[in-house]
Structure 1
Amino acid sequence: MSVTAPDPRRRRRLGAVAAASLLALTVSGCSGLGRTAVGPVTYHTDRDAVVQVNSPSVRGCHRLAPSGAREIENGTLVDIILYPTRDCTGKGTAYVATRFSDVAAESGPPWRSYTFVH
């Protein structure tokens, strides 16, 4: 009975194919379709309600409660920009990094919408 050693070129080719397959699966799983900001965005309204949105989409403009928000905590893994308007436009924005919070000045308007930085 004779035993032959495996061909090292064949082993390398199989390794390259396996690595390429894993890379393709990883890239397709991280596509922008349906991507979410993992974690909660929590805010307090002028009416003392606490609202928590878990893992919102990273795309688009997100409206806050109609009365707006005075305090916002970004518990997601993605930074956000706060806006005093309902359509994520205009001046007077605030940048809130991951795991940070922001409190709107009492003399200014409440936050009414936000977008993710991605």
Structure 2
Amino acid sequence: MSVTATATPTDHRRHRRARMAAGAVLLTLGVSGCSGLGRTAVGPVIYTTGQDRIVSVQSPTVRGCHRMAPAGARAVDNQTLVDLVLYPTTDCTGRSTTYVATDLSDVSAPRALPWRSYRFVH
């Protein structure tokens, strides 16, 4: 004679709640683990320096001021998913700024100061 244990409806509910609680804990851990990663402006910012050197910055963070090469940039191509603002200073301050929307480019005038930094609009 064999003895077979059968689960009651109460056991099924208890196991289901335990599985749901474990899933919620795993989801919370996964989300909190990813939240430490900085948001990026998916795609490259490509610019040409005064010495005709091409610089490509892949998916920079959307926060903060980003310095360009010391020589600055005379042409900028924003291939990211976020708009940016170009500055003639190295610290993203000053007035003579240029707004460059996503998937657009900007070329400075021949006598204009080169762009030396940029910041994302978010």
TM-score category by the smaller chain?
Answer: 0.7 to 0.9
Q: How does 1:7-22 map to 2 (within 5 A)?
A: none
**Correspondence 1:49 to 2:53:** yes
Q: Which 5+ residue runs of structure 2 have no aligned equivalent?
A: 1-22
**2:43 matched residue in structure 1:** 39
The code of the aligned residue for 1:83 comes to: Y
**Which has the larger Rg?**
2
Moved runs in structure 1, 4+ residues, more than 3 A? Answer: 25-32
Q: Paired residue for 2:105, among 101, 104, 107?
A: 101
Q: Which 5+ residue runs of structure 1 have no aligned equivalent?
A: 1-17
Taking structure 2 as the reference length, the TM-score comes to 0.73
Q: Give identity over the alignment, percent.
A: 59
**Correspondence 1:80 to 2:67:** no
Taking structure 1 as the reference length, the TM-score comes to 0.75
| CA-CA distance at 1:57 after TM superposition | 0.6
The code of the aligned residue for 2:57 comes to: V
Distance change in 2, residues 1:117/1:29 (3 Å): same
- Residue deviations 1:35-89 (CA, integer Å, cap 9, x gap): 1110000000000100000000111100000000000000000000000000000
What secondary structure is seen at the aligned counterpart in 1 of 2:85? strand
| CA-CA distance at 1:103 after TM superposition | 0.6
| CA-CA distance at 1:107 after TM superposition | 1.3
The code of the aligned residue for 2:43 comes to: G
What secondary structure is seen at the aligned counterpart in 1 of 2:75? strand
The 1-side partners of 2:83 and 2:31 are apart by: 23
Q: Paired residue for 2:95, among 83, 91, 95?
A: 91
Query: How many correspondences in the alignment?
Result: 117
